[in-house]
Amino acid sequence: MSRRYDFDDDEPYVVIEKQSGTLSSLFIGAVIGAGLALLLAPQSGARTRRDLRRRATRAQRAARQVANDVTDTVVDTFHDARRRVERRIDSARQAIEVKKEQVQRAMEAGRAAAQQAREELERRIAETKAEYHATEPMQPPRAATPRRAAAATVPRADEEPEGA
């Protein structure tokens, strides 16, 4: 399809043509080309079919090999990742165990220190009591004072006597 444009021959110009092609036209062309190649082939039909079968078998084997290789690669990658994760989990468990043992040792040391401090405090209290009792003069126990009983029966100056 040609278009006619009127331009001055002396002036430069740019021609932009838009062409559209699709992938389906490529496939249609490939199918037509393959059909023509089979029709115009210099070999007999039986021989061509045999060659096509061989090529198809080779292509099938190659596809299986590629699929097996991809499967093996994926499986190996999965196993490697799994081993790395398991190693990290094991190292985390070991670190937790180490920290747990450190905490237990610290708690035991704290308990022992607290027990030792308590025993020291009890010993000092006992010594202080012993010193106190050794220096305290012996006094007889006090008897109840009758002041309270007397105070209850004698009215105070600001109170009125009973019965008045």
The pair of structure tokens assigned to 136 is 């305290």
Model pTM greater than 0.85? Answer: no
pLDDT digit string (tens) for 152-162? 555 555 656 55
Name residues whose C-beta falls within 8 Å of residue 7's C-beta, 6 or more positions apart in sequence: 13
**Distance of alpha carbon 103 from alpha carbon 111, whole angstroms:** 12
Does the pLDDT at position 100 exceed 80?
yes
Q: Which of 60-64, 88-92, 154-158 has the lowest mean pLDDT?
A: 154-158
What pLDDT score was predicted for residue 18? Answer: 64
Give the pLDDT score at 106.
95
CA separation for the pair 69, 58 (Å, rounded): 16
pLDDT at 95 over 80: yes
102 C-beta neighbours (distance < 10 Å), count: 10
pLDDT tens-digit readout, 1-56: 556 666 666 776 666 666 666 777 777 888 888 878 777 777 777 887 888 789 88
Average pLDDT, the chain: 80
- The percent of the chain in helix, strand and coil, each rounded to the nearest 5, is 70, 0, 30
CA distance 139 to 95: 67
Q: How confident is the model at residue 146 (pLDDT cuts 50, 70, 90)?
A: low
Cα 125 versus chain centre, distance: 54
